[in-house]
Amino acid sequence: MVENRAAVVSLGRGFWTVTVVLGLLSIVGIYYWITAPMDRIMPVVGAQPGEQVDELLRFMAASGTALFIYVAGYIVYFCFAFRAKATDGPDAIGVQVHDNNVLEFWWTLIPTLFVVLLSILSVRIWYQIQVAQPANGLVVESLGHQWYFTFRYPQVNGEVTGEMHLPVNQPVVLNVTSSDVIHSFWVPAFRLKADMVPGLINTIRFTPTVIGRYPIICTEFCGTDHGIMNAQVPGENGKPNPGAEYVVVDSPADFQKWYHGWQVKNASASNALPSTSGTISLAGGDAAAGQALFAQKCSACHALGPFSQRIVGPGLKGVLHDPSHPNLVDGDPANPADAAKILQQGYTGDMGHMPDATQNGISDKDIANLVAYLASLK
Protein backbone atom coordinates (compact mmCIF):
# COMPACT_ATOMS: atom_id res chain seq x y z
CA MET A 1 0.00 0.00 0.00
CA VAL A 2 2.01 2.95 -1.19
CA GLU A 3 -0.62 5.10 -2.86
CA ASN A 4 -1.19 8.66 -1.77
CA ARG A 5 2.05 9.10 0.20
CA ALA A 6 2.17 12.73 -0.85
CA ALA A 7 -1.28 13.36 0.56
CA VAL A 8 -0.26 12.86 4.21
CA VAL A 9 2.41 15.49 4.72
CA SER A 10 0.09 18.22 5.98
CA LEU A 11 -0.48 18.54 9.73
CA GLY A 12 -2.98 21.31 9.26
CA ARG A 13 -2.43 25.03 9.19
CA GLY A 14 -2.37 25.79 12.91
CA PHE A 15 -0.32 22.75 14.02
CA TRP A 16 2.84 24.51 15.17
CA THR A 17 0.94 27.32 16.86
CA VAL A 18 -1.12 24.76 18.76
CA THR A 19 2.05 22.85 19.65
CA VAL A 20 3.62 25.95 21.19
CA VAL A 21 0.43 26.79 23.12
CA LEU A 22 0.21 23.23 24.49
CA GLY A 23 3.89 23.47 25.42
CA LEU A 24 3.26 26.62 27.43
CA LEU A 25 0.27 25.02 29.17
CA SER A 26 2.43 21.98 29.97
CA ILE A 27 5.13 24.18 31.48
CA VAL A 28 2.50 25.74 33.75
CA GLY A 29 1.29 22.24 34.77
CA ILE A 30 4.82 20.96 35.37
CA TYR A 31 5.70 24.06 37.37
CA TYR A 32 2.62 23.50 39.54
CA TRP A 33 3.57 19.92 40.36
CA ILE A 34 7.22 20.74 41.06
CA THR A 35 6.32 23.49 43.50
CA ALA A 36 2.96 22.23 44.87
CA PRO A 37 2.95 21.93 48.66
CA MET A 38 2.38 18.18 49.18
CA ASP A 39 0.92 18.71 52.63
CA ARG A 40 -2.10 20.32 51.00
CA ILE A 41 -2.85 17.00 49.30
CA MET A 42 -1.53 14.55 51.90
CA PRO A 43 -0.47 14.53 55.56
CA VAL A 44 3.04 15.67 56.46
CA VAL A 45 5.59 12.91 55.89
CA GLY A 46 6.22 11.06 59.18
CA ALA A 47 8.61 8.35 57.99
CA GLN A 48 11.24 7.71 55.34
CA PRO A 49 11.29 6.88 52.46
CA GLY A 50 8.06 8.91 52.40
CA GLU A 51 9.73 11.96 50.86
CA GLN A 52 11.07 9.91 47.96
CA VAL A 53 7.54 8.60 47.41
CA ASP A 54 6.38 12.21 47.21
CA GLU A 55 9.14 13.04 44.72
CA LEU A 56 8.03 10.12 42.57
CA LEU A 57 4.45 11.37 42.77
CA ARG A 58 5.56 14.85 41.70
CA PHE A 59 7.43 13.39 38.73
CA MET A 60 4.51 11.21 37.67
CA ALA A 61 1.95 13.98 38.13
CA ALA A 62 4.10 16.51 36.21
CA SER A 63 4.80 14.20 33.29
CA GLY A 64 1.21 12.90 33.32
CA THR A 65 -0.14 16.45 33.20
CA ALA A 66 2.07 17.35 30.21
CA LEU A 67 1.11 14.11 28.47
CA PHE A 68 -2.57 14.75 29.07
CA ILE A 69 -2.39 18.33 27.81
CA TYR A 70 -0.66 17.25 24.57
CA VAL A 71 -2.85 14.20 23.87
CA ALA A 72 -6.14 15.94 24.67
CA GLY A 73 -5.03 19.16 22.94
CA TYR A 74 -4.05 17.41 19.69
CA ILE A 75 -7.28 15.38 19.66
CA VAL A 76 -9.30 18.57 19.83
CA TYR A 77 -7.04 20.32 17.31
CA PHE A 78 -7.21 17.49 14.75
CA CYS A 79 -10.98 17.22 15.16
CA PHE A 80 -11.25 20.79 13.92
CA ALA A 81 -8.34 20.86 11.44
CA PHE A 82 -9.46 17.75 9.56
CA ARG A 83 -13.20 17.89 10.03
CA ALA A 84 -15.39 16.94 7.05
CA LYS A 85 -15.89 19.76 4.57
CA ALA A 86 -19.33 20.78 3.36
CA THR A 87 -18.22 19.78 -0.15
CA ASP A 88 -17.30 16.18 0.82
CA GLY A 89 -19.62 13.48 -0.46
CA PRO A 90 -21.62 11.34 2.01
CA ASP A 91 -19.19 8.38 1.62
CA ALA A 92 -15.97 10.39 1.86
CA ILE A 93 -13.32 9.06 4.24
CA GLY A 94 -10.35 10.91 5.67
CA VAL A 95 -6.76 10.62 4.49
CA GLN A 96 -5.44 7.20 5.51
CA VAL A 97 -1.97 7.48 7.08
CA HIS A 98 0.30 4.47 7.43
CA ASP A 99 3.92 3.40 7.03
CA ASN A 100 5.39 6.59 8.44
CA ASN A 101 8.58 5.02 9.78
CA VAL A 102 10.03 8.18 11.26
CA LEU A 103 6.89 8.87 13.26
CA GLU A 104 6.58 5.24 14.40
CA PHE A 105 10.22 5.21 15.49
CA TRP A 106 9.77 8.21 17.76
CA TRP A 107 6.39 7.27 19.17
CA THR A 108 7.87 3.93 20.17
CA LEU A 109 11.19 5.20 21.49
CA ILE A 110 9.94 8.14 23.59
CA PRO A 111 7.29 6.21 25.60
CA THR A 112 9.73 3.31 26.04
CA LEU A 113 12.40 5.57 27.51
CA PHE A 114 9.79 7.20 29.71
CA VAL A 115 8.54 3.87 31.09
CA VAL A 116 12.13 2.71 31.69
CA LEU A 117 12.87 5.91 33.60
CA LEU A 118 9.70 5.49 35.65
CA SER A 119 10.65 1.88 36.43
CA ILE A 120 14.12 2.88 37.62
CA LEU A 121 12.69 5.57 39.92
CA SER A 122 10.02 3.18 41.30
CA VAL A 123 12.33 0.21 41.82
CA ARG A 124 14.76 2.35 43.81
CA ILE A 125 12.06 3.10 46.39
CA TRP A 126 10.58 -0.38 46.19
CA TYR A 127 14.02 -1.82 47.01
CA GLN A 128 14.26 0.28 50.17
CA ILE A 129 10.80 -0.69 51.35
CA GLN A 130 11.01 -4.38 50.48
CA VAL A 131 14.63 -5.49 50.50
CA ALA A 132 17.15 -3.17 52.16
CA GLN A 133 17.88 -4.52 55.64
CA PRO A 134 18.31 -1.95 58.38
CA ALA A 135 21.16 -2.62 60.80
CA ASN A 136 19.20 -2.28 64.04
CA GLY A 137 15.62 -2.68 62.90
CA LEU A 138 12.79 -3.13 65.36
CA VAL A 139 10.64 -6.03 64.18
CA VAL A 140 6.92 -5.46 64.69
CA GLU A 141 3.98 -7.50 63.48
CA SER A 142 0.47 -6.33 62.71
CA LEU A 143 -2.53 -8.60 62.22
CA GLY A 144 -5.73 -7.57 60.52
CA HIS A 145 -8.97 -8.77 62.11
CA GLN A 146 -12.61 -8.11 61.37
CA TRP A 147 -12.55 -5.19 62.27
CA TYR A 148 -9.48 -3.96 64.03
CA PHE A 149 -5.71 -4.25 63.99
CA THR A 150 -3.51 -5.91 66.60
CA PHE A 151 0.26 -5.69 67.03
CA ARG A 152 3.01 -7.97 68.31
CA TYR A 153 6.38 -6.95 69.69
CA PRO A 154 9.47 -9.07 70.32
CA GLN A 155 9.45 -8.84 74.14
CA VAL A 156 5.73 -8.46 74.78
CA ASN A 157 3.46 -11.44 75.36
CA GLY A 158 0.26 -11.74 73.38
CA GLU A 159 -1.14 -8.91 71.36
CA VAL A 160 -1.06 -5.15 71.73
CA THR A 161 -4.23 -3.28 70.74
CA GLY A 162 -5.33 0.27 70.04
CA GLU A 163 -2.02 1.95 69.23
CA MET A 164 1.17 0.80 67.62
CA HIS A 165 4.05 2.72 69.18
CA LEU A 166 7.40 3.11 67.45
CA PRO A 167 10.57 4.92 68.54
CA VAL A 168 11.57 7.87 66.39
CA ASN A 169 14.58 7.48 64.06
CA GLN A 170 14.87 3.73 64.54
CA PRO A 171 14.39 1.58 61.43
CA VAL A 172 11.31 -0.65 61.56
CA VAL A 173 10.64 -3.95 59.88
CA LEU A 174 6.87 -4.40 59.83
CA ASN A 175 5.44 -7.81 59.00
CA VAL A 176 1.72 -7.85 58.30
CA THR A 177 -0.79 -10.63 57.87
CA SER A 178 -4.43 -11.36 58.64
CA SER A 179 -6.35 -13.67 60.93
CA ASP A 180 -9.50 -13.83 58.82
CA VAL A 181 -10.02 -12.07 55.47
CA ILE A 182 -7.85 -9.77 53.34
CA HIS A 183 -7.25 -6.36 54.89
CA SER A 184 -4.73 -3.74 53.89
CA PHE A 185 -2.52 -1.76 56.25
CA TRP A 186 -2.10 1.87 55.25
CA VAL A 187 -0.51 4.78 57.07
CA PRO A 188 -0.95 7.77 54.75
CA ALA A 189 1.62 9.84 56.63
CA PHE A 190 4.22 7.13 56.00
CA ARG A 191 3.20 6.75 52.32
CA LEU A 192 3.22 2.99 52.90
CA LYS A 193 0.67 0.31 52.28
CA ALA A 194 0.75 -3.48 52.52
CA ASP A 195 -1.96 -6.04 51.96
CA MET A 196 -2.79 -8.23 54.97
CA VAL A 197 -3.48 -11.66 53.50
CA PRO A 198 -4.32 -14.75 55.58
CA GLY A 199 -1.44 -17.24 55.35
CA LEU A 200 0.95 -14.73 53.78
CA ILE A 201 3.37 -12.36 55.47
CA ASN A 202 4.10 -9.07 53.71
CA THR A 203 6.98 -6.94 54.89
CA ILE A 204 7.59 -3.20 54.67
CA ARG A 205 10.56 -1.29 56.00
CA PHE A 206 10.68 2.32 57.04
CA THR A 207 12.09 4.72 59.58
CA PRO A 208 9.70 7.00 61.51
CA THR A 209 11.23 10.46 61.52
CA VAL A 210 8.67 12.77 63.09
CA ILE A 211 7.14 12.32 66.54
CA GLY A 212 3.36 12.24 66.24
CA ARG A 213 0.16 10.24 66.04
CA TYR A 214 -0.83 8.94 62.64
CA PRO A 215 -4.09 7.22 61.62
CA ILE A 216 -4.03 3.66 60.30
CA ILE A 217 -6.56 2.91 57.58
CA CYS A 218 -7.69 -0.44 56.20
CA THR A 219 -7.83 -0.05 52.43
CA GLU A 220 -9.25 -3.41 51.41
CA PHE A 221 -12.98 -4.01 51.73
CA CYS A 222 -13.14 -6.65 54.45
CA GLY A 223 -16.80 -6.95 55.46
CA THR A 224 -19.64 -4.91 56.88
CA ASP A 225 -17.53 -2.87 59.28
CA HIS A 226 -14.57 -2.23 56.96
CA GLY A 227 -15.32 1.46 57.34
CA ILE A 228 -14.54 1.54 61.06
CA MET A 229 -10.98 0.30 60.45
CA ASN A 230 -10.17 3.91 59.79
CA ALA A 231 -9.03 6.16 62.59
CA GLN A 232 -10.51 9.17 60.81
CA VAL A 233 -14.05 7.79 60.85
CA PRO A 234 -15.89 8.92 63.98
CA GLY A 235 -17.71 6.31 66.05
CA GLU A 236 -21.20 6.48 67.47
CA ASN A 237 -22.10 9.22 69.98
CA GLY A 238 -18.81 11.00 69.41
CA LYS A 239 -16.83 8.10 70.86
CA PRO A 240 -13.86 6.77 68.90
CA ASN A 241 -14.96 3.77 66.86
CA PRO A 242 -13.66 0.36 67.95
CA GLY A 243 -11.40 0.02 64.90
CA ALA A 244 -9.82 3.47 65.28
CA GLU A 245 -6.13 2.77 65.61
CA TYR A 246 -3.02 4.84 65.32
CA VAL A 247 0.71 4.59 64.86
CA VAL A 248 2.31 6.69 67.56
CA VAL A 249 5.92 7.75 67.00
CA ASP A 250 7.56 8.41 70.38
CA SER A 251 10.86 9.67 71.66
CA PRO A 252 13.03 6.67 72.65
CA ALA A 253 12.30 7.31 76.36
CA ASP A 254 8.53 7.52 75.85
CA PHE A 255 8.64 4.40 73.71
CA GLN A 256 10.50 2.45 76.40
CA LYS A 257 7.91 3.54 78.96
CA TRP A 258 5.02 2.44 76.75
CA TYR A 259 6.78 -0.79 75.81
CA HIS A 260 7.47 -1.66 79.41
CA GLY A 261 3.83 -0.90 80.26
CA TRP A 262 2.66 -3.54 77.81
CA GLN A 263 5.28 -6.02 79.03
CA VAL A 264 3.78 -5.72 82.50
CA LYS A 265 0.18 -5.60 81.34
CA ASN A 266 0.59 -8.67 79.12
CA ALA A 267 2.95 -10.55 81.45
CA SER A 268 0.52 -13.44 81.77
CA ALA A 269 -0.97 -13.21 78.28
CA SER A 270 -0.72 -16.32 76.19
CA ASN A 271 1.68 -16.60 73.27
CA ALA A 272 0.70 -20.17 72.64
CA LEU A 273 -0.72 -21.04 69.30
CA PRO A 274 -4.29 -22.11 69.84
CA SER A 275 -5.10 -25.78 69.53
CA THR A 276 -8.18 -26.65 67.56
CA SER A 277 -8.93 -30.17 68.64
CA GLY A 278 -9.51 -32.09 71.82
CA THR A 279 -11.56 -31.23 74.86
CA ILE A 280 -10.86 -27.91 76.51
CA SER A 281 -10.45 -27.83 80.25
CA LEU A 282 -12.63 -25.04 81.56
CA ALA A 283 -11.32 -25.32 85.11
CA GLY A 284 -9.59 -22.19 86.32
CA GLY A 285 -11.21 -19.92 83.72
CA ASP A 286 -10.72 -16.31 84.74
CA ALA A 287 -13.75 -14.11 84.05
CA ALA A 288 -11.76 -10.87 84.35
CA ALA A 289 -9.19 -12.04 81.79
CA GLY A 290 -12.10 -13.20 79.64
CA GLN A 291 -13.70 -9.78 79.85
CA ALA A 292 -10.50 -8.10 78.63
CA LEU A 293 -10.21 -10.62 75.82
CA PHE A 294 -13.87 -10.15 74.90
CA ALA A 295 -13.27 -6.44 74.38
CA GLN A 296 -10.32 -7.26 72.09
CA LYS A 297 -11.59 -10.23 70.18
CA CYS A 298 -15.37 -10.43 70.33
CA SER A 299 -16.91 -7.01 70.77
CA ALA A 300 -16.63 -6.07 67.09
CA CYS A 301 -19.25 -8.75 66.33
CA HIS A 302 -21.08 -9.36 69.63
CA ALA A 303 -22.92 -6.83 71.76
CA LEU A 304 -23.25 -7.29 75.51
CA GLY A 305 -26.99 -6.80 75.12
CA PRO A 306 -29.84 -9.31 74.75
CA PHE A 307 -29.84 -12.00 72.06
CA SER A 308 -31.77 -9.81 69.61
CA GLN A 309 -29.20 -7.01 69.79
CA ARG A 310 -27.25 -8.32 66.86
CA ILE A 311 -24.09 -6.79 65.39
CA VAL A 312 -22.72 -9.63 63.28
CA GLY A 313 -23.51 -12.37 65.77
CA PRO A 314 -26.18 -12.27 68.47
CA GLY A 315 -25.96 -10.26 71.67
CA LEU A 316 -24.39 -12.37 74.41
CA LYS A 317 -25.79 -10.93 77.62
CA GLY A 318 -26.76 -13.87 79.81
CA VAL A 319 -26.11 -16.28 76.95
CA LEU A 320 -25.76 -19.23 79.33
CA HIS A 321 -28.73 -18.18 81.50
CA ASP A 322 -31.34 -17.07 78.98
CA PRO A 323 -34.67 -18.91 79.38
CA SER A 324 -35.93 -17.62 76.02
CA HIS A 325 -32.89 -19.15 74.30
CA PRO A 326 -32.24 -22.45 76.08
CA ASN A 327 -30.08 -23.60 73.18
CA LEU A 328 -27.04 -21.95 71.60
CA VAL A 329 -27.02 -21.06 67.91
CA ASP A 330 -25.79 -24.55 66.98
CA GLY A 331 -28.89 -26.08 68.60
CA ASP A 332 -27.08 -27.62 71.58
CA PRO A 333 -28.04 -26.77 75.16
CA ALA A 334 -26.58 -23.54 76.50
CA ASN A 335 -23.84 -24.78 78.80
CA PRO A 336 -20.16 -23.88 79.23
CA ALA A 337 -18.89 -26.95 77.37
CA ASP A 338 -20.99 -26.14 74.31
CA ALA A 339 -20.00 -22.47 74.39
CA ALA A 340 -16.37 -23.63 74.46
CA LYS A 341 -17.03 -25.92 71.51
CA ILE A 342 -18.36 -23.01 69.41
CA LEU A 343 -15.38 -20.85 70.39
CA GLN A 344 -13.03 -23.68 69.47
CA GLN A 345 -14.59 -24.86 66.24
CA GLY A 346 -16.32 -21.74 65.02
CA TYR A 347 -19.87 -21.69 63.76
CA THR A 348 -21.53 -21.58 60.37
CA GLY A 349 -25.29 -21.66 60.13
CA ASP A 350 -28.49 -19.62 60.16
CA MET A 351 -26.94 -16.93 62.35
CA GLY A 352 -23.97 -16.42 60.03
CA HIS A 353 -20.35 -17.37 60.39
CA MET A 354 -17.86 -17.18 63.25
CA PRO A 355 -14.23 -18.17 62.56
CA ASP A 356 -12.66 -20.93 64.66
CA ALA A 357 -10.11 -20.48 67.46
CA THR A 358 -7.11 -20.64 65.13
CA GLN A 359 -8.47 -17.93 62.89
CA ASN A 360 -9.45 -15.82 65.87
CA GLY A 361 -6.02 -16.34 67.43
CA ILE A 362 -7.27 -17.61 70.79
CA SER A 363 -5.75 -20.41 72.87
CA ASP A 364 -7.46 -23.06 75.00
CA LYS A 365 -6.73 -20.92 78.04
CA ASP A 366 -8.32 -17.93 76.31
CA ILE A 367 -11.43 -20.02 75.62
CA ALA A 368 -11.65 -21.06 79.27
CA ASN A 369 -11.39 -17.40 80.28
CA LEU A 370 -14.01 -16.31 77.76
CA VAL A 371 -16.44 -19.04 78.86
CA ALA A 372 -15.95 -18.02 82.50
CA TYR A 373 -16.75 -14.46 81.50
CA LEU A 374 -19.83 -15.44 79.47
CA ALA A 375 -21.05 -17.58 82.37
CA SER A 376 -20.73 -14.58 84.67
CA LEU A 377 -23.03 -12.47 82.48
CA LYS A 378 -26.51 -12.75 83.96
Closer to ligand CUA by Cβ: residue 181 or 320 = 181
The single residue among 183, 205, 297, 341 that binds ligand CUA, judged by CB under 6 A, is 183
Q: Is 141 helix (H, G, I), strand (E, B) or coil?
A: strand
The answer for residues whose C-beta is within 8 angstroms of residue 168's C-beta and 6 or more apart is 208, 209, 210, 211, 249, 250, 251, 252, 255
Full 3-state SS string of 173-211: EEEEEECCCCEEEEEHHHCEEEEECECCCEEEEEEECCC
User: How far is it, in rounded angstroms, from Cα 18 to Cα 284?
Assistant: 83
Q: Is 376 helix (H, G, I), strand (E, B) or coil?
A: helix
What's the full length of the chain, in residues? 378
The single residue among 140, 174, 216, 222 that binds ligand CUA, judged by CB under 6 A, is 222
- Shortest distance in whole angstroms from residue 298 CB to ligand CUA: 17
- Shortest distance in whole angstroms from residue 346 CB to ligand CUA: 19
The single residue among 216, 229, 334, 342 that binds ligand CUA, judged by CB under 6 A, is 229
The single residue among 152, 226, 265, 325 that binds ligand CUA, judged by CB under 6 A, is 226
Q: Is 163 helix (H, G, I), strand (E, B) or coil?
A: strand
Residue 220 sits in the site that holds ligand CUA (CB under 6 A): yes
Number of residues that bind ligand CUA (CB under 6 A): 9
User: How far is it, in rounded angstroms, from Cα 356 to Cα 352?
Assistant: 13
Q: How far is CA 69 from CA 18, 26, 27, 304, in A?
A: 11, 6, 10, 58
Closer to ligand CUA by Cβ: residue 183 or 341 = 183
- Which span sits near ligand CUA by CB under 6 A: 6-14, 29-37, 69-77, 214-222? 214-222
- Shortest distance in whole angstroms from residue 232 CB to ligand CUA: 14
Q: Which of residues 46-65 bind ligand CUA (CB under 6 A)?
A: none
User: How far is it, in rounded angstroms, from Cα 157 to Cα 51?
Assistant: 34
- Shortest distance in whole angstroms from residue 41 CB to ligand CUA: 23
- Shortest distance in whole angstroms from residue 141 CB to ligand CUA: 16
Is-contact 42 217, C-beta < 8 A? no
Residue 218 sits in the site that holds ligand CUA (CB under 6 A): yes
Residue 245 sits in the site that holds ligand CUA (CB under 6 A): no
Q: Which of residues 117-156 bind ligand CUA (CB under 6 A)?
A: 144, 147
Q: Which stretches of the chain bind ligand CUA, using CB under 6 A? A: 144, 147, 183, 218, 220-222, 226, 229
